[in-house]
Amino acid sequence: MTLLRPVTACLLLSTVLLAPTARWAATAQLRQERTPATQQAQVNELHQREQLENLQRAQELQQTQRQLDQLRPQDASRPGLAAPLREQQLNQTQRQLDQLQQEQQLNRSQNELNMNQIEGEHNLLRRQEQLRELQLQQHMQFLQDQSRTQQMQQDLNRLR
């Protein structure tokens, strides 16, 4: 029991001495995020990330469209009972691709409106929160779009 007391006292003393330092370190990041210049940099970074993701989405959609376009002539050269079913599947994939393109355009417009609203927010804490929410939302949209595009590409590969 006597050995435990110095260790306990040491732990208590270190906790008391280090607590303000830990608290200062934790709030330093919040203070940094609150500055308008830092937030503007985050807004700019979010814009850049969105542009890169939009380019990647466009490339994936173009690749899927090329795959679909390559399969259509093959369809005409393969007469048989499976041709109408195959054509139906290709048409379904084309509709899905068109729908995804329209949804992505709508999402881009919505994200732009959200960014404009965030840039106009005067409360820095609220602005920071909105930036994080938008960043998360955009990333989730990107992953969902990527998943849908990959699924369409897999479907087209099965039709080859």
In the three-class reduction of DSSP (H, G, I as helix; E, B as strand; rest coil), residue 155 is classed as: helix
* Residue-wise pLDDT tens digits, 15-41: 666 666 666 666 665 555 567 788 888
In the chain, the DSSP E strands lie at: none
Distance of CA 28 to CAs 16, 33, 49, 86, 87, Å?
19, 9, 26, 60, 61
d(CA 153, CA 70): 12
d(CA 112, CA 27): 31
What is the model's pLDDT at position 76? 63
Which H or E element spans position 119? helix 82-119
Q: Angle between the 4-34 and 36-76 helix axes, to the nearest 10 degrees?
A: 80
Q: Which residues of the chain have pLDDT under 70?
A: 1-34, 75-82
pTM of the model: 0.69
What is the model's pLDDT at position 132? 92
Domain range annotation of the chain: 39-159
